[in-house]
Chains A and B, each alone.
Chain A
Amino acid sequence: MNIPDSLRYSKDHEWVRVEGGVARIGITDHAQDALGDIVFVDLPKVGAAVSGGQSFGEIESTKSVSEIYAPVAGTVSAVNEALESSPDLLNKDPYGEGWICEVTGFDAAALDALLDAAGYRALIGG
């Protein structure tokens, strides 16, 4: 499983990349592999407030539906509209073109509660 050292991770299998006050969020390689072929992503709305640990969207694969949980609280500032027609980007490139949304106004201290790559690797037994 690919677990980049540069990212932070939630126990719900999301990753977070922080750059210039913006937290970009996606799901991990482990998560996309477990979900199977992803065919639909229910994205949050730009401007929506999200609460840490709360569901803000759904991912549908050919076998099941799963919720997406916000790793940090904040306001959605951008969503990856490419996922509307190409949700399989989550399978093909979960840390790159398959990003889900960006959040601003989050509490930097909340990031400390997330796992680093080693902690996430231990969580998934990899």
Chain B
Amino acid sequence: MVPFGGWEMPLAYASGTVAEHLACRREAVIFDVSHLGTVRVEGSGAKDRLQAALTNDLDKIGPGRAQYTHLLGDDGSVLDDIIVWWVSDKRFDVMPNASNTDNVVAAIGGKDVTATRAVFAVQGPRAKELLAAYSPALAAVGRFRVTEVELDGVTCVAAGTGYTGEPGLEVAVPVEHAARVWESIVATGITPAGLGARDTLRLEAGLPLHGHELGAGITPLQASLGWVVAWNKPSFRGKDALVAERDAGPARELRGILCDSRRPPRDGCDVLIDGRRVGAVSSGNFSPVLECGIALAFLEPELDVGTAVSIDVRGTMINGRVVQPPFVTTSRA
């Protein structure tokens, strides 16, 4: 167990991070992601408040759908990346990162209901097939759909979302029923997985982590996430700064680096071409699927995919090349 944003989180269960990672790519795993916040925003003004604060456009979806979006600072920095569950007409469950819930409440209002529920993420190519033995209704939740489901007679909210690159879903369970639901899901043959595998899975899928690829001084454009920004919305917080950056072109862009060695690059390592620094690693580790080191890195924007680079890992140069993430082809339908 390790401390994480005020929560005690399992880094790995008995089988270990690599086995949990491969179980998610090949079969199915369950994560306890209760550390993600839930901010409930309700009422007739709820949608307008979210539209004014967040970068993505809720008019692209509707009730019963989920959307990935950003909350920016006035300078265009990504204060948080967020999944919005549009649960019903006038109710939104907004899910920020563990440590950012207070910032999000300050920006959009609503009520922090994090302590009332647990959230489990069930992910993997066989997730829905295995879940069907426990709850056909849960197994039927479609990609980016949001719906209430009854589990053991208790009303829960499920969404076809996750952060591994695999198909699956996340389900919010009233906290007093959480242990029972967890045990029922594990009993279907789904493997418990910890924070370690969650990080290597999201890295292999090329998904950003707040504090590494997103945060103070990092805009959605630098993080190569321009698709999260609805430029046609009349306004959202940080829009002016972001428009200026778009017009000038971002000074750095997030790319992947695929290494020749098993040695894991790490956050902060310099990226070089012929000894000249061209960027820095924001996240790096060993890819259990590819069996080599992989990294996300902020690089000079003119570097093309395929460019040979080296990464300075505490004085040892690791050779690699620039790639467009994801690093692996996932089975997400």
Interface size class of A (residues with CB under 8 A): 10 to 19
* B residues contacting the other copy or chain, number (CB 8 A): 18
When chains A and B are docked, how far (Å) is the Cα of A65 from the Cα of B314?
11
Query: Are B263's CB and A63's CB within 8 A?
Result: no
B151 proximal to A (CB < 8 A): no
Query: Are A40's CB and B263's CB within 8 A?
Result: yes
**Interchain nearest-CB distance for B295 vs A (Å):** 13
When chains A and B are docked, how far (Å) is the Cα of A87 from the Cα of B286?
12
Query: Are B196's CB and A36's CB within 8 A?
Result: yes
61-104 of chain A: CB within 8 A of chain B: 62-63, 65, 87-88, 91
**Interchain nearest-CB distance for B235 vs A (Å):** 42
B12 proximal to A (CB < 8 A): yes
When chains A and B are docked, how far (Å) is the Cα of A22 from the Cα of B39?
63
When chains A and B are docked, how far (Å) is the Cα of A21 from the Cα of B103?
64
B266 proximal to A (CB < 8 A): yes
Query: Are B11's CB and A87's CB within 8 A?
Result: no
When chains A and B are docked, how far (Å) is the Cα of A37 from the Cα of B316?
22
Query: Are A37's CB and B262's CB within 8 A?
Result: no
What 0/1 readout, one digit per residue, does chain B (1-26) give for beta carbons within 8 Å of chain A? 00000000001100011110000000
Q: Which A positions have Cβ atoms within 8 angstroms of B?
A: 36-37, 39-40, 42, 58, 60, 62-63, 65, 87-88, 91
Q: Which B positions have Cβ atoms within 8 angstroms of A?
A: 11-12, 16-19, 196, 200, 261-264, 266, 285-286, 293, 314, 316
Please name the 3 residue pairs, one residue from A and one from B, whose CB atoms are nearest each other, closest first: A39-B286, A37-B18, A62-B17
